[in-house]
Amino acid sequence: MDLTSQIIWLFVLAVPISCISWTVTHEEIFREPREWCVKHSKFDRTIWSRKAFYLFTCEYCFSHYVTIAFLALCDYKLLLNDWRGYILAGFSLVFMANIYMSLFALLRQAIKKEKVEIEKIENETESEKLSN
């Protein structure tokens, strides 16, 4: 694969990795299993068990495992055609996926802030109407 194709694959493969990682570690659909994992990551007796459960609560940690699955699925290598290409691809994909997740988190935060500000303005306007 030429360098341009490898770079395109890097940016494209990071999208589903970040989507899966974010969804499992943040979204409501996985809330109950995530809360169960959080409980076990804090209170289990052995360090191995706590760390294993923590993997499902941290988007950065979880993205490593999702990346490994995608590397196996897509046979993607970066720059080198041997095992070193897998390592480079793996860490590069994790890096890009986490940039995407960080940008998404900032976007969600900005949207949430705007909603709160709009609600505050609406409440103030409604209070003014009632007092007049």
pTM given for the model: 0.81
Kindly write down the DSSP assignment for every residue of the chain, as one continuous string.
--HHHHHHHHHHHHHHHHHHHHHHHHSGGGHHHHHHHHHHHHH-SSHHHHHHHHTTT-HHHHHHHHHHHHHHHH----S-SSHHHHHHHHHHHHHHHHHHHHHHHHHHHHHHHHHHHHHHHHHHHHHHHHH-
pLDDT, tens digit, for every residue of 18-55?
Answer: 999 999 999 999 999 999 999 999 999 999 999 999 98
Q: How many domains does the chain have?
A: 1
Residue with tokens 């076990």: 40
Cα within 13 Å of Cα(36), Cβ side: 5
Q: What tens digit of pLDDT does each residue of 49-98 get?
A: 999 999 889 999 999 999 999 999 999 999 999 999 999 999 999 999 99
User: Is 130 inside a domain boundary?
Assistant: no
Tell me, yes or no, whether 85 lies in a domain: yes
Q: Is the pLDDT of residue 132 over 70?
A: no
Domain that holds residue 50: 3-104
